[in-house]
């Protein structure tokens, strides 16, 4: 199934809900869409709900590419905070952990979660 997404706005953050399959290039495009949605809707907090997706990105180079874009968006977004909710399977969590640690080293304010409530709590806390 091709990647589909929709964007919803709340008072505190923008939600980007995804469904389908995507790769590292798609992920880079989604990073910029998330930044654009936040900027256009006057929010610096974005929740990406990727629980209904399949990610085809396995190499360190692919993960690094996405993390680098996350860092660019954080700098451009002046404090953009991104919470990504991923499926709770071991392989997807491994990729999310790698992306989170690489994005953190690159200076991005990005965290992954497997539960929406945890993601929202982190996203909306005052820091």
Q: Which residues of the chain have pLDDT under 50?
A: none
pTM here is 0.84
What are the residue boundaries of the structural domains of the chain, listed by start? 4-86+101-111+119-124
State the greatest distance between any 2 C-alpha atoms of the chain, in Å, as a whole number: 38
pLDDT at 81: 84
Phi-psi sector, 42: left (phi>0), alpha (psi -120 to 50), beta: left
Assigned CATH class of 4-86+101-111+119-124: alpha beta
Mean pLDDT of the chain: 83
Cα three-residue angle 80-96-46, rounded to 5 degrees? 25
């Amino acid at each position: 199934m091709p990647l589909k997404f929709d964007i919803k706005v709340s008072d505190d953050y923008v939600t980007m809900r995804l469904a389908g399959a995507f790769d590292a290039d798609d992920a880079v495009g989604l990073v910029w869409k998330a930044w654009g949605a936040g900027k256009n809707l006057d929010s610096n907090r974005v929740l990406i709900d990727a629980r209904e997706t399949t990610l085809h990105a396995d190499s360190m180079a692919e993960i690094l590419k996405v993390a680098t874009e996350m860092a660019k968006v954080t700098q451009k977004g002046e404090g953009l905070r991104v919470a990504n909710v991923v499926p709770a399977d071991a392989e997807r969590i491994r990729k999310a952990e790698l992306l989170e640690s690489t994005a953190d080293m690159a200076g991005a304010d990005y965290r992954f979660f497997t539960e929406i409530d945890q993601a929202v709590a982190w996203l909306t806390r005052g820091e």
